[in-house]
Structures are given as structure tokens and as C-alpha cells.
Amino acid sequence: MTDASQALTRTFLSDDGPLAYQDVGSGTPLVLLHGGFTDHRMWRDLVPALAAGHRVIAPDARGHGASANASRPFRLTDDLAALLRHLDTGPAVLIGMSMGGGTAVDTALEHPELVRALVVSGVGTSEPEHTDPWTKDSVARYYGTLMSGDIEGWLDVVGEAVAGPHRAVDDVDPDVVRRVREMSRATAAKHTVGETDWHVPVTDTWARATTITAPTLAINGALDAPDLIAMAERLVGTVAGEGRAISVEGTAHYVNMEQPDTFNKHLLDWLDTLDALDALA
């Protein structure tokens, strides 16, 4: 563990190549799980405040950022569990945005002994159900451009996802759009069209979510797609543990990047309530 201002990316040698992560601060472990095609840098503006009172672990998921690509079947939740066991930490608070939130929920299902609490943003489980027209069109264009190798067209769709259905890309802080595009381009460059997808999904997550006893918080952007907000709210209403949803005005899918201070305030306030409950136990 190091000071947040001097954090270096470390590597854990998994059974299928090195996985990158940062590890700063001390105290209750918080694990920051990034969204698809981004990497741990999306949490840059949140880490210093969180690491002032907690141990903060921010990995790059396999195939993202500085982590190795897969060469055999794998599950993101198993990679995370292996990292936490390697670091001899847990149970931890898993904080996941989009894909990372799905991994957090999967870990509560598959490795519950490693999970103290869950925080998700812009996601329900790792099995999304898309019904609203904007999301269905966005997802179709996202994968259509990506699978055809049209990276510039794909990055335009990525920018639209940052804005969400209620804003134009020009209405969003250009630095946030630039950073998401930069991370997405870097991760896309690690892959080739038509390569084998070795990822093995966790199944029956919605039906099994009723068994999750970990307290669960959803932090949603009020301007995000209706499907994504609804799935996060559905999750907190489904888990067996205490569930709560918070809506952040003026932001969409990337709440943690657009409004890091607001995200941190909601997160830290909620963590304080968990600590208070633990003290009474």
C-alpha cells in the first residue's frame, strides 16, 4: 500500500498472465471496479479522498488497461477473487460502475465471503435486460461499429453513451468525454475483430440476487438511460440485504467521472452508516 498521490500500478500474476491494479491507503478495503473498455483510471478523481480513510484497490479487468488478455476461459469474478485472496483482504466493499457493477454482484453470488457490501452505478446484474428504444439502438450501434472495426464510429457511440439520452455530447464536460474515449481506444487496441471471446458469464443472476445478504447501494445518474436506472433500482429492491438507491442530478452513466465529489459524498456517508451498524452488532 502506498500514498494515493504516489500510487503505482502493480501486477498480480494470475494463472493466465498478469493482472494490473493499484493499492493505496489503509483501513476498510474498498475495491473500485471500472466499466467496460475503460480501466482503473476512471476512478482517478475519487481515490485520494477515499484513500484518506480506507484501503483502496483499483484493478484493471482482464483484457482492459494494463491487464493481460485471456488465452483460456475465465470469469471476471474469479479474477477478482484471486486478486483479493492474493492481497489477503476481504471481506471488502465492492464498488462497480457498469460492467464493474456486474462483476461486483457476480462476486457476491460466487464468492460471498469476500464481500462486505456492494455499490453499483448504472447497472443491475451482469445480465442486462434492455427494453427502452434509446438503449436498444445505442447497444446495437455500439457493437455493430465495434465488430465491424469502425473504431472512430464506435468512439462516437461511446461519447453518446457518456451524454445519455437526454443531452448532446457537447453538453458534457469535454475532459470527461476525452478520458472515456482515450481509455476505450486503448483497450480496443488490445483486441482484434473476430478474436475468441473467452469470457464465461455468470448465469441466473437475477433469480439468485435474492440470496445476496450484503447491504447494497445504487448511485445512478438521473440523466442515464431508463433501462440502466431501472435495473439498478430493481437490484436494490431484490437483494435480501438492505438496499438503497440514490439519484444524482445533472449526470448520466459516468457519475463517478462527471461528479466525483458528489459520488464520494454519497458513498462515504453510506459507509459511515455501515460502520455504525457494525459497531452496534
- Structure confidence at residue 279 (pLDDT): 65
At residue 3 the predicted structure's pLDDT band, cuts being 50, 70 and 90, is: very low
Burial of residue 146 (CB within 10 Å: 0-12, 13-18, 19+) is: buried
pLDDT in tens, 153-200: 999 999 999 999 999 999 999 999 999 999 999 999 999 999 999 999
| Region of poorest pLDDT, from 73-82, 198-207, 270-279 | 270-279
pLDDT-above-90 percentage for the chain: 94
**219-246 burial code (b ≥16 CB/10 A, e <16):** bbbebbbebbbbbbbbbbebbeeebebb
Question: Is pLDDT above 60 for 54?
Answer: yes
pTM above 0.75?
A: yes
The number of residues in the chain equals 281
**Taking all residues of the chain, what is their mean pLDDT, rounded to a whole number?**
95
Reported CATH class of domain 4-131+197-280: alpha beta
pLDDT in tens, 125-146: 999 999 999 999 999 999 999 9
Q: Stretch 230-235: mean pLDDT, rounded?
A: 98
